[in-house]
Amino acid sequence: MTKLFGTDGIRGKANRFPMDADTAMTVGRAVARLFFQPGRGRILIGKDSRLSSDMLESALAAGIASMGADALLAGMLPTPAIAFAARAAGADAGIVVSASHNPYWDNGIKIFSGQGFKLTDAQEADIEALVQKQDLSEFLAPSEKIGRIYPLESAGQEYLDFLSTVWPDNLSMRGMKIAMDTSNGAASLLAPEAFTRFGAQVEVIHNQPDGFNINDQCGSQHTAGLQKLTVKCGADLGLAFDGDADRLIAVDETGKRLSGDQILLICAIMLKNLGKLQKDCLVTTVMSNLGLRLACRKHGLRHHASEVGDRHVVEDMQRLGAVIGGEESGHIIFLDHHSTGDGILAGMQLIAAMLRSGRPLSALSRLMDVYPQKLVNVPVSRKPEIFSEPRIAAVIREIETGLGENGRVLVRYSGTENLCRVMVEAQSAELAETGCNRIAEVVRSVLN
């Protein structure tokens, strides 16, 4: 069977399998078949700003309608807004057309349950099986029961109203200046309005999507422009989102970039001080910096590392009873408020932590010492089990032995691209770079 789902939905080059119109229509049919019960169902669709999103949205909607369900088109909205809207509208499922932080020529399909959670492995396998079947004509609705396609124009404002309920009544952003980079993506209109609602003055860049410029040297992956803007305009902090705004990367008032790990720690300590950090637990992934684990120990937090992917983080949060979790890349989940990673919500919580502590973001960032990290993405032509290759296993063990307890090595495949990610952390940047390059060289030689 063709493997469709990676760590975050289905993803690929636009207008090529699996991101072609035919496959998208089949996925729409499969989602309708899996989620809605006999009778009229409703499936909500949102999208980001890239060129191919209209095409894929239309194909998904056609597939859904052909199965007898209605497709509700929410338009260009952040992924977390679609997860919220699906739940608020009582939809059977929600679908987002987005390739997140990837360039415009890629696209993707993310699927949520009607409760706003990403699919389980079993649900993904069911959809893959239906897509593999291709001919779903036996399940098509009769002519008189074909579904309709409706616009859902209120979804964006309803999401903003939801965010307003999350912001503490005893805090105000009045007098604050926020620099913002919306990555020419799905949050280009909505994110500045969200923070303006709370009284902040917002200076925004990269908020003019044209179908091609999403994530183009901007947003959470490329923060140089935001760092300059933050210092130039004297902002209290900068907030950078990715193309679908489920990630947040922050910049302090001096222009220094904070990682997702630092944001998670700051917010977890805030919740602990408020008595709201259930079981004193913070859930991240194996990709989190070694400095985060040490900081959790120092500040009395229990740290749990899940598999890579915010879906796995959420699953472990639910199992452990945790209320905050996320990824170093900036996916941050506040499970008391939302079912998925939300960049705008995370930005609000980070500002709340600043206001409650009375300290600038530069001071809060020092709650954690970030270990130097080197990450190399190695293109590969095959993906065998990492430790099944003797040369790769040997060089990994050699570097790990040299680092001892003062560093770590992580080698894993990308779930969405033909890449092997090699990461080394050490007490010095030189040691991290030397070890990482050594492993990457062997991986490149063996897997190509």
pLDDT at 8: 86
199, two tokens = 């009284």
Q: Is 154 a catalytic residue?
A: no
Of 411, 409, 410, residue with least CA distance to 431:
409
Mean pLDDT for 210-236 is 98
Map residue 386 onto helix, strand or coil: helix
Q: How far apart are CA 301 and CA 181, in angstroms?
A: 31
Q: Where are the domains of the chain?
A: 5-154, 158-257, 258-342+358-365, 373-446
- Helices 260-273/343-357 angle, 10° precision: 50
Q: In percent, how much of the chain has pLDDT > 70?
A: 98
Q: How far apart are CA 229 and CA 213, in angstroms?
A: 19
Tens digits of residue pLDDT in 121-156: 899 999 999 998 878 888 999 999 999 999 999 999
Prediction pTM value: 0.91
- Helices 343-357/79-88 angle, 10° precision: 100
Q: What are phi and psi of 333, to 5 degrees?
A: -115, 125
Does pLDDT of 1 surpass 90? no
Q: How far is CA 192 from the centre of its chain?
A: 19
pLDDT at 117: 95
91, two tokens = 């939809």
Render 106-175 in DSSP notation, one character per residue: EEEEEEEETTSPBPPHHHHHHHHHHHHH---GGGPPPGGG---EEE-TTHHHHHHHHHHHHS-TT---TT
Q: Give me Rg for the CA atoms of the chain.
A: 22
- Residue 102 CB neighbours (<10 A): 22
Say if 158-257 and 258-342+358-365 have the same CATH topology.
yes
pLDDT at 38: 63
Tens digits of residue pLDDT in 291-302: 999 999 999 999
225, two tokens = 């422009």
Tens digits of residue pLDDT in 286-342: 889 999 999 999 999 999 999 988 889 999 999 999 999 999 999 999 999 999 999
The residue annotated as part of the active site, out of 100, 188, 288, 329, is 100
- Helices 390-403/429-446 angle, 10° precision: 170
Tens digits of residue pLDDT in 112-125: 999 999 999 899 99
- Contact assessment for residue 100 and residue 243, using Cβ atoms and an 8 Å cutoff: yes
Mean pLDDT for 200-212 is 98
- Contact assessment for residue 146 and residue 66, using Cβ atoms and an 8 Å cutoff: yes
71, two tokens = 């497709």
Q: How far apart are CA 296 and CA 367, in angstroms?
A: 10
Report the C-alpha dihedral over residues 339, 343, 344, 349, rounded to 10 degrees. Answer: 80
Q: How far apart are CA 230 and CA 177, in angstroms?
A: 9
Does pLDDT of 84 surpass 80? yes
Q: Which CATH superfamily is domain 5-154 in?
A: Alpha-D-Glucose-1,6-Bisphosphate, subunit A, domain 3 (3.40.120.10)
The third-level CATH classification (topology) of the domain covering 258-342+358-365 is: Alpha-D-Glucose-1,6-Bisphosphate; Chain A, domain 3 (3.40.120)
Q: Which CATH class is domain 373-446?
A: alpha beta
Beta strands 149-151 and 408-413, pairing class: unpaired
CATH architecture, range 158-257 = 3-Layer(aba) Sandwich (3.40)
